[in-house]
Amino acid sequence: MRVTTTGTSRTVLVANQKGGVGKSSIVSAVAGMVAAAGRRVLVVDADQQANVSASDLGVEGDGGRGLSMSLQFAQSLTPVRDVRPNLDVIAGGPALAVVASVAATAAQTGIDLRRNLTQTLNDLNDAENYDLVLLDSGPGDAPLLEALLGTARYLVVPTKDDDASLSGVELLAMRYLRARKAGSMIQLLGVVLFDTNPRATARNREVFEQVHELLEGSGADPFETFIRSDRAAAVDLRTRHLTPLELVDVAESDQKNRLQRLRQKGKSSDRLWSRDPSGLASDYQGLTREILSRVATAERDEVAGGVA
Ligand SMILES: Nc1ncnc2c1ncn2[C@@H]1O[C@H](COP(=O)(O)OP(=O)(O)OP(=O)(O)O)[C@@H](O)[C@H]1O
Ligand SMILES: [Mg+2]
């Protein structure tokens, strides 16, 4: 991939107001894949729960204070550096709770969350030249989501295949259109199905078509890659603070050492839940490829549009 990032141009927001649809897992996995391939990545955890920074990536951050100060007062962002090679993180956490009340009094205070976030992210990106910036968002938290939709250049929407999650996609699509009307440059890259049964091909096709219809007129298609259900791997990823690629390595050496540990009556707490997380990792690899390829296409279209 060429390094052509200017400002927040390669900033991908992963969002769906519905909770538990894979937003943080996807951010961690994609960030891990891109960083492992040697490109510089910044993860911004814009969620009070701090799942992606604290749990998935195991970062001991500032509880979201830095991000909160940047949103309120345009204070410069300082990432936690090199949490993995090529991977920096702006931590989330409870300090972000203040954002809702700041947004509610914006008319009196003149505080513009979106402008502050765009400016501070641009400044950081100008200094650091990240190849990719991934923004994770929490469930609900409409004011913060609004600021993120106003700042990011691209949007990825994960969903499960149940009706409630698919309604979440519709709700988000409405917010997305509103943000664009209000002048945001954000572009929907696609919807990704999360926690799917890889053997239920007919069902998956049906949901794929349903999402396709839902996106009619948006210019975006669902991603071809589905993220399979793998609860054992999901537990290992969070409790051990690993990216999927790292878990594959750990699981391989775990298998090798299994016999030895049995002989030594190894402690059960050392045990991994997942035997073979490589299927899940390869789903994330496919999704990462698709995201990067859609970003590249959008950038090409933009250049062509600018020249025409
Ligand atoms: N491949 C998977 N299969 C099944 N469950 C998974 C998988 N990956 C992650 N999970 C679990 O699904 C739950 C939701 O995932 P995640 O936290 O990524 O969603 P989210 O959309 O970020 O949630 P929130 O809205 O709370 O931020 C978590 O408990 C996670 O461990
Ligand atoms: Mg999350």
pLDDT tens-digit map of 17-74: 899 999 999 999 999 999 999 999 999 999 999 999 999 999 999 999 999 999 999 9
Range of the domain at 31: 11-307
Residue 5, pLDDT score: 36
Residue 290 pLDDT exceeds 80 = yes
**Ligand 1 centroid distance, CA of 24 (Å):** 7
- For residue 156, CA distances in Å to 110, 172, 244 come to 30, 11, 19
Would 250 be classed as within a structural domain? yes
Rama region for 163: left / alpha / beta (φ>0; ψ in -120 to 50; rest)? alpha
Pair 191, 211: CB distance under 8 Å: yes
pLDDT band at 267 (very low <50, low <70, confident <90, very high): low
Residue 195, pLDDT score: 97
Would 49 be classed as within a structural domain? yes
CA dihedral for 95, 99, 101, 102, sign (positive or negative): positive
Mean pLDDT of the 216-233 span: 92
CB of 24 sitting under 6 A from ligand 1: yes
**Ligand 2 centroid distance, CA of 144 (Å):** 14
Nearest alpha carbon, ligand 1 atom 16: 22
Which residue of 13, 25, 43, 247 sits with most ligand 1 atoms within 8 Å of its CB, as the best mutation to test the pocket? Answer: 25
Residue 137 pLDDT exceeds 50 = yes
CB of 25 sitting under 6 A from ligand 1: yes
**Ligand 1 centroid distance, CA of 125 (Å):** 28
Nearest alpha carbon, ligand 1 atom 30: 234
Closest-lying ligand 1 atom to the alpha carbon of residue 27: 18
Percent of the chain at pLDDT exceeding 70: 93
**In this predicted model, what pLDDT tens digit does every residue of 170-182 receive, in sequence order?**
889 889 999 999 9
CB of 280 sitting under 6 A from ligand 1: yes
Which carries the bigger pLDDT value, residue 214 or residue 278? 278
Would 2 be classed as within a structural domain? no
Residue 268, pLDDT score: 54
**In this predicted model, what pLDDT tens digit does every residue of 73-86 receive, in sequence order?**
999 999 999 999 99
Residue 3, pLDDT score: 36
Would 93 be classed as within a structural domain? yes
> Domain with 195 in it: what CATH number?
3.40.50.300
Residue 306, pLDDT score: 67
Q: How far apart are CA 298 and CA 163, in angstroms?
A: 30
Residue 270 pLDDT exceeds 80 = no
Residue 305, pLDDT score: 75
Which residue of 14, 16, 24 sits with most ligand 1 atoms within 8 Å of its CB, as the best mutation to test the pocket? Answer: 24
Residue 7, pLDDT score: 41
In the chain, the number of structural domains is: 1
**In this predicted model, what pLDDT tens digit does every residue of 20-31 receive, in sequence order?**
999 999 999 999
CB of 247 sitting under 6 A from ligand 1: no
Count helices and strands in the chain by DSSP H and E runs: 11, 9
pLDDT band at 266 (very low <50, low <70, confident <90, very high): low
CB of 231 sitting under 6 A from ligand 1: yes
Q: How far apart are CA 251 and CA 266, in angstroms?
A: 16
Mean pLDDT of the 189-213 span: 92
CB of 137 sitting under 6 A from ligand 1: no
Would 118 be classed as within a structural domain? yes
Would 3 be classed as within a structural domain? no
Mean pLDDT of the 106-129 span: 94
Would 4 be classed as within a structural domain? no
